[in-house]
Amino acid sequence: MHDPADSHPDIHWPSGFSPAEAHGFHHVQAVVPGPPERVFRVLTDPADWTSWVPGCEEVSTRTFTQTFEARWCGQRFEVYVGEHVPPRRLGWMCLGTSVRLYQGYLLTAVGDGTEIVVESAVRASLPRAFDTLSPTWVERLDELWHAQLARLSDPPPSV
């Protein structure tokens, strides 16, 4: 778990979901290949999420919509898109049986790549238990997520 003081100042948090109010807060920042437009397309293509998002088992839609359902790590979530500003900003609320979270994404062009900032504020007791039982669990998940996103956002080889 990260310190809420490390939250990026440009993430827009809905009421009740600021990092300071959350039970768990995670911040991830990396540079991936490809322009923000390509990275944004990957992030908003739910038809492909089960092939690259760690733990994503099912998504109720093949196209990105304002609301949909997703099954992640055995739990069903209702997803409500709160911010959709291609290709720079994305944010959604996920409501599960015992977990509520908000994820905010910022995408910025840097050289030949895209700097991506992802922050999650979680309201539930489960994330804290995971952090306590396995401090590296979230870091390993973040590493896998970044590797997969980098692979998908990398431009195809020239023929």
State the CATH class of domain 31-153. alpha beta
pLDDT of residue 90: 96
pLDDT of residue 133: 40
pLDDT of residue 91: 95
pLDDT of residue 2: 57
Contact between 56 and 70 under an 8 Å Cβ cutoff? The reply is: yes
pLDDT of residue 123: 85
pLDDT of residue 63: 94
Where the chain has pLDDT below 50, the residues are 1, 129-135, 137, 159
What would the pLDDT profile of 39-51 be if each residue is shown by its tens digit? 999 999 999 999 8
- Domain range summary for the chain, segments of one domain joined by +: 31-153
Average pLDDT, whole number, for the chain? Answer: 82
Contact between 101 and 122 under an 8 Å Cβ cutoff? The reply is: yes
The reported pTM is 0.81
